[in-house]
Amino acid sequence: MVINHAEAPVLEALAAYQNADELAFTPPGHKRARGADPRARAVLGDAVFFGDVLANGGLDDRLARNQVLVRAEQLMADAVHADHTFFSTCGSSLSVKAAMLTVACPGHKLLVGRDAHKSVVAGLILSGVAPVWVEPRWDAERSIAHPPSTEAYEKAFEEHPDADGALVTSPTPYGAAADLAGIAEVCHRRGKPLVVDEAWGAHLPFHTDLPAWAMDAGADICVTSIHKMGSGLEQGSVFHLQGDLIDPAELASRADLLDTTSPNVLIYAGIDAWRRQMVQHGHDLIGGALKLAARTREAIEAIDGMHVHDEADFCGPGLASGFDPLPVVIDISALGTTGYRAADWLREHHHIDGHLFDHRRISAQLTHADDEQTTDRLLTALRDLAGHASELHDAPRVAVPSPAELRMEQADLPRDAYFARHEKVAPRDAVGRVAAEMITPYPPGIPAVLPGERLTEPVLEYLLTGVEAGMFLPDAADQRLGTVRVVAED
Ligand SMILES: Cc1ncc(COP(=O)(O)O)c(C=O)c1O
């Protein structure tokens, strides 16, 4: 195929479909908005319905002879130096599972950083793969985890040479990056593949002032959300493949096991548009965002009681290996309140929605979509928050465990514990029992508890005090943690 990045095959096919006035006797049943409830049309706009067409037998013909999706995927692969790219409309949550199911077989081992997203744990449950947990680099003073070191992967492989491969999350939602080239080398010396969960790194390939990104660093598979740091629509995700350790047909087949048969063309269009935008204008757009982030960071740092985590905080010996400044992570502990309380206050008083919140932090994600207007509003709100801090001192405290206390013994395989007969017990009775569910503070979605871990008092206390303080646990069977699901004891 001739590579021409001025093309956007999905967008162009969609425009052609609309111009040809195709008449569909197929799903979607709203038939280009005609059947949609007028009240839905008023809120969503007809463009949403006009763009919502069948992929094959609509956007492309029934045999996909125009290769609309294939051409869009090839252009994306070229843009990011991959051999193959696959689009997904089910988020990186699907992409990462497809990657895991390709790399590791049921019952085999996979090295996984314990700071993995809940979709990775879901992949372990579905696949029956045994995780060999690799410890993140903990900054105990700031109570934050950074990606595991290269040495930690080396050691894990020495102890488990039979592991099928490794998975690392980089960058973290906080903007801390791993030494991907080093970890890839550790894997490849053993002929094993490396999967990088780069859900937060869609923008990395398009500016040299950002951390190295997975394909350039030598990873085999890399998973990216186009809707997080990119400008695609929610659920738009891609996974890239290079090298000869993994068969592309096998990866496509594993994704097919999980995928929908009704992909949303709007999401494909958003991914395709992002690739063209970034190839043509990415350096300038992201360069602009980086300058804006630097000015915004400086202005937030000048607010009394706020400290913006910077490269010096996150990187260095024993810490992260790279830093993305676009997630602006602010330590507000000096204001005497929690991130949860501050987040609610910002939404209520300024209609500002922050991204990550915890017992001592809030964060604001900046992208190339921001400008002085949006950051001025953010700064006004943050200054006002600092001015009202005394009203927020009543925020309940969270009992944060030490890094060592956070880690629990993996007593059973996640799959075995998840599907085992279980019972619900009060948290005080759950100490010493094996968890049968995932319990994940969200955002950012890194499980504090996963199936098969033997529960301890500090972790349960952390979650209970967290819930009282405003922590959200969407995947727990009882989101208020009145009870916890544990494996039944006969
Ligand atoms: C590190 C990481 N991986 C994977 C995902 C899943 O991505 P998606 O929301 O696109 O399904 C997330 C989502 O927050 C994430 O933070």
For the purposes of burial, counting CB atoms within 10 Å of the CB of 490, is it exposed (0-12), middle (13-18) or buried (19 or more)?
A: exposed
What is the distance in A from the centroid of ligand 1 to the CA of 448?
A: 16
The pLDDT value recorded for residue 21 is 87
Atom of ligand 1 nearest to the CA of 116: 1
Amino acid at 72: A
| DSSP of 231-282 | SS-TT-EEEEE-SSSS-HHHHHHHHHHHS-SS--HHHHHHHHHHHHHHHHHH
Helices (H), 367-413: 372-387, 403-406
Q: How far apart are CA 27 and CA 298, in angstroms?
A: 51
Q: Are 87 and 254 in contact (CB under 8 A)?
A: no
Nearest to 392 by CA among 430, 424, 416, 357: 357
Q: How far apart are CA 440 and CA 448, in angstroms?
A: 6
Q: Which of 92, 198, 229, 238 is the best mutation target for the ligand 1 pocket, counting ligand atoms within 8 Å of the beta carbon and taking the most?
A: 92
385's CB contacts (< 8 A; 6+ apart) are 332, 335, 342, 345, 346
The pLDDT value recorded for residue 396 is 96
**How many other C-beta atoms can be found within 10 angstroms of the C-beta atom of residue 454?**
19
What is the pairing mode between strands 109-113 and 130-134? parallel
Q: Are 238 and 255 in contact (CB under 8 A)?
A: no
The pLDDT value recorded for residue 13 is 98
The beta strand positions in 258-395, using DSSP E, are: 307-308, 322-323, 327-331, 361-365
Does the CA dihedral 272-277-280-283 come out positive or negative?
A: negative
The pLDDT value recorded for residue 210 is 97
Atom of ligand 1 nearest to the CA of 236: 10
What is the distance in A from the centroid of ligand 1 to the CA of 93?
A: 6
Amino acid at 284: D
Beta bridge partners of residue 85, listed in sequence order: 240
What is the distance in A from the centroid of ligand 1 to the CA of 117?
A: 6
What is the distance in A from the centroid of ligand 1 to the CA of 41?
A: 30
Q: What are the backbone dihedrals phi and psi of residue 119, each rounded to the nearest 5 degrees, phi first?
A: -70, -30
Q: Are 51 and 265 in contact (CB under 8 A)?
A: yes
**How many other C-beta atoms can be found within 10 angstroms of the C-beta atom of residue 65?**
9
Q: Are 270 and 227 in contact (CB under 8 A)?
A: yes
Helical axes 180-188 vs 150-159, angle rounded to 10°: 20
Residue identified by tokens 């279980």 is 422
Atom of ligand 1 nearest to the CA of 172: 1
What is the distance in A from the centroid of ligand 1 to the CA of 168?
A: 13
Beta bridge partners of residue 215, listed in sequence order: none
Nearest to 222 by CA among 273, 263, 186, 171: 171
The pLDDT value recorded for residue 23 is 94
368's CB contacts (< 8 A; 6+ apart) are 203, 231, 285, 286, 288, 289
What is the distance in A from the centroid of ligand 1 to the CA of 15?
A: 31
Q: Which of 115, 119, 239, 259 is the best mutation target for the ligand 1 pocket, counting ligand atoms within 8 Å of the beta carbon and taking the most?
A: 119
What is the pairing mode between strands 237-241 and 327-331? unpaired
Q: How far apart are CA 418 and CA 437, in angstroms?
A: 6
Q: Which residues line ligand 1 (CB under 6 A)?
A: 91-93, 96, 117, 119, 169, 173, 197, 199, 225, 237, 444-445
Helix (H, G, I), strand (E, B), or coil: what is residue 144?
A: strand
Q: Which of 228, 324, 363 is the best mutation target for the ligand 1 pocket, counting ligand atoms within 8 Å of the beta carbon and taking the most?
A: 228
Nearest to 252 by CA among 416, 94, 136: 94
Q: Which of 100, 117, 274 is the best mutation target for the ligand 1 pocket, counting ligand atoms within 8 Å of the beta carbon and taking the most?
A: 117
What is the pairing mode between strands 484-487 and 422-425? antiparallel
Helix (H, G, I), strand (E, B), or coil: what is residue 33?
A: coil
What are 434-477's pLDDT values in tens digits? 999 999 999 999 999 999 999 999 999 999 999 999 999 999 99
Cis before residue 171, ω within 30 degrees of 0? yes
Atom of ligand 1 nearest to the CA of 225: 10
- Locate 306 and state its tokens: 């706020």
CA atoms within 13 A on the CB side of 391: 10
Q: Are 309 and 319 in contact (CB under 8 A)?
A: no
Q: How far apart are CA 163 and CA 145, in angstroms?
A: 24
Q: Model pTM greater than 0.95?
A: yes
Q: How far apart are CA 128 and CA 246, in angstroms?
A: 20
Q: Are 72 and 8 in contact (CB under 8 A)?
A: yes
Angle at 35 between CA 30 and CA 40, to 5 degrees: 90
* Residues of the chain falling short of pLDDT 70: none
Q: How far apart are CA 428 and CA 227, in angstroms?
A: 40
The pLDDT value recorded for residue 484 is 98
